[in-house]
Amino acid sequence: MLRTLKLAMVLVCAAMLPLPAAAQAIKLGELNSYKTFPAFLEPYKKGMDLAVEEINRSGGLLQRSVELVVRDDNGNPGDAVRVAEELLAREKVDVLMGTFSSAVGLAVADFAKQRRFIFLASEPLTDKIVWENGNRYTFRLRPSTYMQTAMLVAEAAKLGKRRWAIVYPDYEYGKSATAAFRQLMTAQQSATIEFLEFPAPLGKIDAGPVVQAMADARPDAIFSSLFAADLAKFVREGELRGLFRDQAVFNLLGGEPEYLDPLKDEAPVGWYVTGYPWSAIATSEHKRFLDAYRAKYQDYPRQGSVVGYSIVMTAAAAIRKAGSTDTEKLVAAMQGLVVDTPFGRISYRAIDHQSTMGAYVGRIAVKDGKGVMIDWRYANGADYLPADDWVRAHRPAD
């Protein structure tokens, strides 16, 4: 009887002990502007969920399952920092990742630096996040504004246009894209170039006056970094007022399904864009991703789907390489980390923590009543990164 009582007490005490580390999930803490940018971030969340499902189905990481802990940052840098603090302090996440807006991304990158905690920036495109404001703990997945602008400049410089109108959202991303375009075009074209700038408040463009002012300026060509609802308004007003007639137009992100699909047959034919021609990519890695995504969601992927999937796979690859969730070991593992993505194999440069993920570059056409990318090519991000000497001169020492 006494032996039975002792055994029962042992079992009760064992049940009260915390689970061993091997039984506790690895937590990926993700914050993003879901309510502010749903067109991109709803597919992004689906891409993340697909990646987590695949990882857990194959046995998880370090013999532990993976859990995604998601929070909305309201598209506000101050809120984002508070959310990041909550993810670390309350949720005890092992990795911090995400953000969409460049301003939010920079705020969270600074938070990561102060807290000495790893941050995988998935979507913010500002150059500063890995260069001027780069830090030991922040790594960025997507090709930056400089990189994607350079991809378009390779085509724009061939036209020899001298008078460029530049329209952009008046915040960090748009300013960064504009600065990169001016710099790269000036370097590539020997003739004198005139740049006319038309900034517009993010998400609040008054497209009529902007388009009319651009038309009155009589540019030879147009460069735009508008996206989402601002882009749609600009396209419709520009077509109405004849701004694009016989005009070369270059637009960052304009070929991404998130922004191209809503325009349907109003898609601006002939524009040069970066984007994602999902239905035409025939590589084995993309086909595997496309088939899995369609099977799970009965829908086609968007650019956000690829980004969400790839950032989770980046975290998984770092954890496997480190053999740990310790931040310093993860930071070391991220140096030169190789990751397989739907766009092919990429790596994260040790010198600046920028990945070599590229983008698709092509032109817009309308087929079957909707906009598509044609004449596209995949521009490898590694070919559009600044040289090591430039990085050393512009990035703070870790």
In this structure, the answer to whether residues 237 and 134 fall within a common structural domain is no
Element (H, E) at 367: strand 359-367
pLDDT surpasses 50 at 165: yes
Which has the higher per-residue pLDDT, 2 or 142?
142
In this structure, the answer to whether residues 56 and 127 fall within a common structural domain is yes
**Has residue 391 been placed in a domain?**
no
**Has residue 5 been placed in a domain?**
no
- Contact call for residues 108 and 116 (beta carbons, < 8 A): no
pLDDT surpasses 60 at 20: no
What is the C-alpha to C-alpha distance for residues 222 and 244, in angstroms, rounded to an integer?
Answer: 9
**Has residue 244 been placed in a domain?**
yes
In this structure, the answer to whether residues 70 and 190 fall within a common structural domain is no
**Residue 204 CA, distance from chain mean position:** 22
- pLDDT category at 191 given cuts 50, 70, 90 is confident
Give the model's pLDDT for residue 2: 41
Provide mean pLDDT across the span 322-347: 98
**Has residue 260 been placed in a domain?**
yes
**Has residue 28 been placed in a domain?**
yes
In this structure, the answer to whether residues 116 and 164 fall within a common structural domain is no
- pLDDT category at 190 given cuts 50, 70, 90 is confident
pLDDT surpasses 90 at 394: yes
pLDDT surpasses 70 at 345: yes
The residue segments making up the domain with residue 315 are 21-144+282-358
pLDDT surpasses 50 at 354: yes
In percent, the amount of the chain with pLDDT more than 70 equals 94
For the residues of 172-224, what is the DSSP string, one character each? Answer: HHHHHHHHHHHHHHHHH--S--EEEEEEE-TT---HHHHHHHHHHH--SEEEE
- pLDDT category at 86 given cuts 50, 70, 90 is very high
**Has residue 175 been placed in a domain?**
yes
Lowest mean pLDDT among 9-23, 25-39, 306-320: 9-23
pLDDT, the chain, mean: 93
Give the model's pLDDT for residue 23: 57
**Has residue 82 been placed in a domain?**
yes
Give the model's pLDDT for residue 132: 95
Provide mean pLDDT across the span 246-252: 96
Detail the DSSP E strand segments found in 225-350: 248-255, 272-275, 338-341, 344-347
Task: Tell me phi and psi for residue 247, to 5 degrees.
Answer: -125, 135
Provide mean pLDDT across the span 33-60: 97
Alpha-carbon Rg for the chain, nearest whole angstrom, is 23
In this structure, the answer to whether residues 182 and 319 fall within a common structural domain is no
- pLDDT category at 291 given cuts 50, 70, 90 is very high
Give the model's pLDDT for residue 16: 40
**Has residue 398 been placed in a domain?**
no
**pLDDT, tens digit, 9 for 90 and up, residues 196-217:** 999 999 999 999 999 999 999 9
Detail the DSSP E strand segments found in 240-290: 248-255, 272-275
Sequence-ordered list of residues with C-beta below 8 angstroms from that of 223, at least 6 positions apart, any chain = 152, 156, 164, 165, 166, 167, 178, 181, 249, 250, 251
- pLDDT category at 397 given cuts 50, 70, 90 is confident
What is the C-alpha to C-alpha distance for residues 311 and 124, in angstroms, rounded to an integer?
Answer: 12
- pLDDT category at 84 given cuts 50, 70, 90 is very high
- pLDDT category at 273 given cuts 50, 70, 90 is very high
- Contact call for residues 50 and 296 (beta carbons, < 8 A): yes
In this structure, the answer to whether residues 124 and 37 fall within a common structural domain is yes
Give the model's pLDDT for residue 21: 42
In this structure, the answer to whether residues 248 and 367 fall within a common structural domain is yes
CATH of the domain at 129: 3.40.50.2300
Structure tokens at 278: 């999902």
What is the C-alpha to C-alpha distance for residues 50 and 314, in angstroms, rounded to an integer?
Answer: 14
HSE-CB at 127 with a 13 A cutoff on CA atoms is 22
- The number of domains in the chain is 2
What is the C-alpha to C-alpha distance for residues 227 and 257, in angstroms, rounded to an integer?
Answer: 11
